Structure 1
């Protein structure tokens, strides 16, 4: 095994450099992961541009990760049920296990928050707190899930993304068999929500948005969408009304963060429906017609991250029912991480998800 890890360090906004860090000595309740692939999360550009107030520079980005256990302590091996050589995905959140939120199953709000690739500086030993790196440090409180050997890395590194979809659709949306679900936005998070809605037995599943990439529409259909509505060529309110025989949707998942799509979510929900808002807009204040919430008695729920939902997502990925790997359209080597990130941020509609392979 190597004695050092090559890692891409974000020294400050828009300043990335390649550095080496010594591999840490692994204690009884820790592990070391040899990174196989890491996805570029939709939040990574926010850290890259310095727009996340929680970011602590210098930082190694990356938390949508799959790899193999390179070293593990005896307590961690017993706790996780894994051994050296096993292939695993690691969740973004590191649980303190002591605060109110961790003890109540909401560890994405941990009061002692540590999130891989987001808010732990690589100045903090043992340095390897992000997956834009050859190795990732497995801290006590990390959550680990076994990935079958035959699963493509591109699918395995999407476990957190699919975990989000499971949380929004099943846990927060409470989708029941036969309920109409509308998903706003055909990006990776929208496609993950399609899979989760299909697994929940939703019908019809309707994806609404606009895209220059027809591959997104194709994948939505492949994953279980019954209808795709392009708002540049169709009136989405009339289309959903027609599909549902004027009933509209029991559940609407809004993944874009665009003001007009948030407003549209309220329009597409039926009376007493549930609207799950997960798209972000950089804390801009966007107007909403709140009378729609009042007069329709809508339940509007925010969705952040995943807690206890990644395990379900991994079981879906391991089942091979869906070609989740098709969401990853471009893969770059580690030394081109900044180029990969810029491509993801500025692409002309070619990419769905971009990944880095150390």
Structure 2
């Protein structure tokens, strides 16, 4: 950052496949606000879909309000505290902190009811300009309604960088209400899927099955506690799951592929009266035969959005070494290398890609 001119380096989203590395104004903190110096910011699958121009982001009622600095998988060090901000957030200058990805309005029925992650206004860091610029920049403003958590200074950078996706994974596993005698299938072993595997393993279901097309990710799933892994391109997932369940199907199916095929696959693999948890952000509409859900199987269909009330749990699990980023964080790039970073993140050559300031690159 050029402190003399109060400018900083940032990735700025102007539209689909139009992300530019620019010099922009460094934010300043107002009352009950703070500015953090970004330590790292991950590139999420939703960032890749947004960059690619997915309809859900750029459709008739666009979620993205460009130009905006993207990035919601960030953490950093408190650099500037506005008036009353230290008491408001319970932090001090120099603390390492993370803010949850949503910026609640604190006024709608959901926020007032404690369901802030479903805020009707629903500003998410990295998608709405000015209101919620994200973490792909040297510095970032944390507004007064943000939910902030302190990270132990002893935590490794790569572990701290996965707190946000790990929180989402914990919320998904909580929504599944796994029981000790459940056969659980997790479809999709991307970054969050692999964190779901680790969290689900801590719940000790009867069998934990992971489906993914990439061998490296299947191997990591086994390392993280999966009992069985399936390559759907070369193995019969239905036959394998039925063989583990007396022909009935899995008790819990978690969809984390981001592919429409993951949904239809799950509806076939799951038993009658099973629990289907949908997590993925899809790049296009997904269609299924809804008679399977009602008339044929009477399924319990549950959504899972963000990681409400799960950040302290994620930080604790990482601090106690019960969950790890080892093998998940595979690449890091400087902000200036955005073009290469998004190319790698949007491929099967990586699992989790981080952006950092040039001085922080290992």
Q: Is residue 199 from structure 1 mapped to residue 208 from structure 2 by the alignment?
A: no
CA positional deviation for 1:351: 0.6
Q: Is residue 121 from structure 1 mapped to residue 129 from structure 2 by the alignment?
A: yes
Q: 1:135 — aligned with what? A: 139
Change in Cα spacing, 1:222 to 1:293, as seen in structure 2 (3 Å) is: farther
Aligned length: 348
Q: Is residue 25 from structure 1 mapped to residue 24 from structure 2 by the alignment?
A: no
Q: List runs of 5+ in structure 2 lacking aligned partners.
A: 358-362
Q: 1:168 — aligned with what? A: 172
Distance of 1:232 and 1:16 partners within structure 2: 34
Contact 1:105 1:308 in 2 (8 A): no
2:178 counterpart SS class: coil
Write the deviation string for residues 204-231 of structure 1: whole angstroms up to 9, x where unpaired: 11101212xx321222122211111112
- In the alignment, which of 90, 104, 107 is matched to residue 95 of structure 1? 104
Distance of 1:240 and 1:195 partners within structure 2: 20
Distance of 2:206 and 2:91 partners within structure 1: 38
CA positional deviation for 1:101: 1.4
CA positional deviation for 1:293: 4.0
Write the deviation string for residues 168-206 of structure 1: whole angstroms up to 9, x where unpaired: 111x21223342211011111211211221222323111
Write the deviation string for residues 93-122 of structure 1: whole angstroms up to 9, x where unpaired: 01111111112233233122221101x214
Distance of 2:326 and 2:315 partners within structure 1: 13
CA positional deviation for 1:72: 2.0
CA positional deviation for 1:250: 1.7
Contact 1:162 1:193 in 2 (8 A): yes
Bigger Cα displacement from structure 2, 180-189 vs 287-296? 287-296
Q: 1:43 — aligned with what? A: 46
CA positional deviation for 1:10: 1.7
Once superposed, what is the RMSD of the aligned Cα atoms? 2.0
CA positional deviation for 1:50: 3.8
1:250 counterpart SS class: strand
Contact 1:210 1:230 in 2 (8 A): yes
TM-score by length of 1: 0.90
Bigger Cα displacement from structure 2, 175-184 vs 160-169? 175-184
Q: Is residue 14 from structure 1 mapped to residue 13 from structure 2 by the alignment?
A: no
CA positional deviation for 1:325: 4.1
Distance of 1:280 and 1:19 partners within structure 2: 28
TM-score by length of 2: 0.89
